[in-house]
Structure 1
Amino acid sequence: MWKICGVLIAWALLLILHVRAQSQSRQTFTCGGNITGESGVIGSQGYPGVYPPNTKCVWRITVPEGKVVVLSFRFLDLESDNLCRYDYVDVYSGHANGQRLGRFCGTFRPGALVSTSNKMLLQMVSDANTAGSGFLAVYSAANPNERGDQYCGGRLMKPSGTFKTPNWPERDYPAGVTCSWHIVAPKNQIIEVKFEKFDVERDNYCRYDYVAIFNGGEINDAKRIGKFCGDSPPAPVFSEGNQLFIQFLSDLSLTADGFIGHYKFRPKKFPSTTVPPTTTAPPTTTRPIPLKYSAALCQQKCKRKGTPESHYCSSNFVITGTVITAVTRGGSMYATISIINVYKEGNLAIQQAGKTMSTKIVILCKKCPYVRRGKCLPQLAVTVTLKPKVY
């Protein structure tokens, strides 16, 4: 009897020591912090226990200079909401004023996220209500041009290569991600981009999920070549200089197959052309549509003849419509246009009342176009030099 009790006591002591050793070896995760090194693990406060309510935790990751940060979520369990309004994790490229790579909640893990520099920031916010186990993520340092097409974004410097959406081609791209590819060619070359397959959530103005392509090495609306969505591959795109920036963004709702694209460097003497942003008939949404302008890529003068397409390059926007009101004040025309079709979005603020789309513009050009109330405008192409004001 005493022997049995002794064995049981010894076994219990061993079990206690084993549990204590495990608890001591388990990493403790706190609310935020500055993290450095080639690789590491980040977890929400108290993981794998329930994270606390009403918190805001910020982690700043820094890897060695010349590298980029690659982040992968191994576990994600936050309060679920279609818009991630309550509990969520934001991931940014850089530490201050960086581009947001995505917002995540629920239990769906996104693909790998890649920063454009050696810094990345994670921010987790929780409200007062429902909670979960939080998240566990691992990060590592990678060369900017190393397997750039395998991650969600990266810096591409090889003479040719491929880029694609996360999960391609096995399944749809995830919701709530932003991927940015920075393609850099030698100074005496330009870049050609072609999409082999393309399927991004369709919207007439590409407001929700889209691919935007910019001349240069950053997101700059003045240098935007095009904004694309739908299931038709865009025509080939050529850069003006030796750099292109490609951004893919998905919102927190519908997703699609995604895309695979290819790029290659071309001699600078190769004729460069660009593709105007494509739009179709006005959508049936009831919310205002914030639209931005594309830069003038050629210097045509304002003309009263021609087609809307012929005025893409020289205009901030190209639309057809009917003039609802037209008032002249101080030598400028203040007009409200009922839109028939939008060929180029420009810097318009479009409002919708029922099925009617309209916009307000200020026309500084005195002779072109001729605007009066009730007149149907076969084309209204306002050039960059007119500096249209939107209100």
Structure 2
Amino acid sequence: MTVRGQLAGHGAVIVSAGVLLTAAVLCLILLLVLRHVKTNTGEIFPLDSRSGDRSSQNLSLSPTAPHPMNTSTLSPPGKKPTFLTTCGGVLTDSWGTLSSPNHPGPYPPDSHCVWVIRVSPPLLLQIHVSSLAVEGPSPCLFDWLEVREETEKTSAVTRFCGSVAPPTLNTNSSSVLVAFHSDGSISGNGFTAQYHSILPGQKSCSREEFMCDGGRCLLPVSVCDGQPNCQDRSDEANCSQKHKECGGKITGEYGLLSSPNHPKPYPHQQLCTWQISVEDRQVIRLSFQNFSLETQDVCEFDYVEVYDGADVDANTVLGRFCGPALPPDLTSSGPVMTVLFVADEGVADSGFYASFRAMSLSERTCGPAEFACGSGECLHQDWLCDGWIDCADAADEHHCINSTYPPFTSSCEPIQVEMCRGLSYNLTSFPNIWLSISDQREAASILHEYRVLMGFGCFESFRRLVCGVFVPHCSAQSGVLQPCQSVCSSAEQQCSQTLTLLSLTWPFSCHLLPASHDPTECSLP
């Protein structure tokens, strides 16, 4: 019995130990199962961005991970983590891709992204922007893509916006800062760009681009455009054959001219000049039968410009035309007329088809329901004394007191935009017919972006110009007036050097404004 009691006690201990061991094994299996489930449901979170070497990997944008980095945030139990998209970082690979947030979708407002790209010397960086759709226009005061190149001796900043991708940028640095900025209003689809590390002797441009000055790339539209962009002026050399498919001198009693390939789309990068001549004591009547060019708020990309005479000069412009609207018939004052056709590298349309005929001076009349401008342009009588200047010489708004047509009824309103108060006029009119701005609140929002130039000495002359354009002068006597050309020229003379220091270009085409000092024809703010 004594032996049996001892064996029973040992058996109890052995059974208890077996039960405990089995329970431990079951618990371990259960923990492993739970860990596997958590891993598959996303409940195991990545390292915090501040911990270890792994965080520095998140800052590197490699060719296999071309989009902005993602960081994870902790989620409550039972929910998947949410991912917040940010942008920017330090890029150290030999090549890679970067893009605006959400690209190719619209970028968010109030974005600010900074990428620092570094490679090992003596390697240099080459940057190619393959797509660009960023709110413009130049000088890119609202949204922009900026490339800052730092070297031992210089610091160069280049800023881009608009819808035309810039040429390839061959830098002279192994370290480049790329910044993207957007304001709180209008957005676009942003940009995407690629960078490569190259040796100093490997600078190159895309196949369609032109290279000069040992590595500067130009878009095709900048070649043979009459403006030297290269220090060695090589972009304006050998240009005699570039536009051989259009333009030339035309003589005779009548004739035809059209854009290349009409009615098919015209080629890109055109600069065509026709000079039409007839006999002395005759004038030229030009009529457009078909007309369809790229639609623009301001005709600066694709356009037809007609000059009264042989000189292509701002003082002889009879009109500049773009879009789908058929231009009016135009008549020269003498026996020579010049027609200019310009097309950039962007959108192409079917172009234009026009005819001309010689007229004796006695024939130079308009129809019974038309009014003749000093340029020979014929306008419908309804446009006479309506408060809007339609003739280049404003003849349709002269001597209107005794006219049988009703005088202009003022729709002027007091200026509320703070930046434009205190000028030579205090009344304006909206909507703005030149810029499609609906009211003063919208104009004030746009002009607020120009306040970045307030610290410069030329700001006052620049203020008079931009206010004259965005918040135009309105009077009961003369209607709504554009700024005079002299206002624009003065501002350009004073401010263009300042803008150049900021790597910005002058944003206005002064020759499109009235070349007059008559306060009934244009405004002198």
Shorter-chain TM-score bucket reads: 0.3 to 0.5
Higher helix residue share: 2
Q: TM-score, normalised by structure 1?
A: 0.46
Q: Which has the higher contact order (CA 8 A, sep 6+)?
A: 1
Q: Which has the higher strand share?
A: 1
Q: Find the structure with the greater CA-based Rg.
A: 2
| TM-score using structure 2 length | 0.36
